[in-house]
Amino acid sequence: MPTKTLQIPTADGQADAFAAFPDQGERHPGVLMYADGFGIRPVLREMARELAGHGYYVLVPNLFYRHGPAPVVELPEHIGEEVRPQVFAQLMPFIEEHTAERVLSDADAYLRFLTAQPEVSAGPVAVTDYCIGGLLATRTAAAHPGQVAALAAFHGPVGVDGPDNLAKLTAEAHFGHAEADLTPEALGELNQALDTAGVDYTSEIYPGTIHGFTMSDTDAFNSAALQRHWDRLLPLLDRTLANS
């Protein structure tokens, strides 16, 4: 499985990024993968390689490149509950400084770079994400309705920007929520907003999960939910990017 470490030109400098893609000498549909708040690390690289193995060029940018290359803070091999508060205390200033304007500016640069890669086929792309990346991916898909054909967000705050932003979505979407993040009532309100907006979507709570359930290097990891995530993500990409 070929991988690369790349530098993406942006309006504010160079964003380091990880890319994985099939070793077949062909062009493949592009997927922009937003990391969770902990950023690019071994588990994210492994997930990108897993997805690439299904026939996609996967680009994972360092969201907080303005503060240095990934990882922007030192991370333990396992991010357990005993170290999570300390790590998040270091990351929160970066998250708070990552304004909507920065998100959209970076998204333009990421998509421009992704679609220009020689291994990426012409046609629409997908955006997938985890945790805070869910908000970033939703904003990216809403801002690029003609380019993003699929949106998959897992344990992310996808409804934070309200129904007006959801109404801009033209991508087919899947939202996989942690049980500890969203009440059934809140899920109903989100789904009603998606219905009103006419979005083609699935949106569900993954049973028995807490925030971060896809990440195997955290205490939140749930192996059954991770498999459910793949079972939802791969058919979505196959439907929307098959002709790319």
**CB-CB contact of 192 with 159 (8 Å):** no
| The pLDDT value given to residue 244 | 66
| The pLDDT value given to residue 80 | 94
Q: What would the pLDDT profile of 22-55 be if each residue is shown by its tens digit?
A: 987 889 999 999 999 999 999 999 999 999 999 9
Residue 100 has pLDDT above 90, yes or no: yes
Report how far residue 203's alpha carbon sits from residue 177's, in angstroms, rounded to the nearest whole number. 8
Tokens at 180, concatenated: 């500890």
Residue 77 has pLDDT above 90, yes or no: yes
Q: What would the pLDDT profile of 7-29 be if each residue is shown by its tens digit?
A: 999 999 999 999 999 987 889 99
Verify cis geometry, omega within 30 degrees of 0, for the bond prior to 9. Answer: no
Report yes or no on whether pTM surpasses 0.95.
yes
Mean pLDDT computed over 199-209:
97
The distance of Cα 115 from the centroid of its chain, to the nearest Å, equals 17
| The pLDDT value given to residue 43 | 97
| The pLDDT value given to residue 193 | 95
Dihedral of CA 149/147/169/143: which sign? positive
Domains of the chain: 3-241 (3.40.50.1820)
Least confident interval from 107-111, 138-142, 159-163, 228-232: 159-163
| The pLDDT value given to residue 160 | 87
Mean pLDDT computed over 63-67:
97
Nearest CA to 243 among 111, 121, 119, 112? 121
**CB-CB contact of 153 with 161 (8 Å):** no
Buried b (16+ CB within 10 A) or exposed e, 149-170: bbbbbbbbbbbeeeeebbebbb
Residue 216 has pLDDT above 90, yes or no: yes
Alpha-carbon distances, residue 140 vs 65, 100, 130, 148, 215 (angstroms): 18, 10, 14, 8, 22
Looking only at the bridges linking them, the beta strands covering 13-20 and 57-61 are: antiparallel
Instruction: Please report which residue ranges of the chain form alpha helices under DSSP H.
Output: 42-52, 84-97, 100-116, 133-143, 163-166, 184-197, 223-241
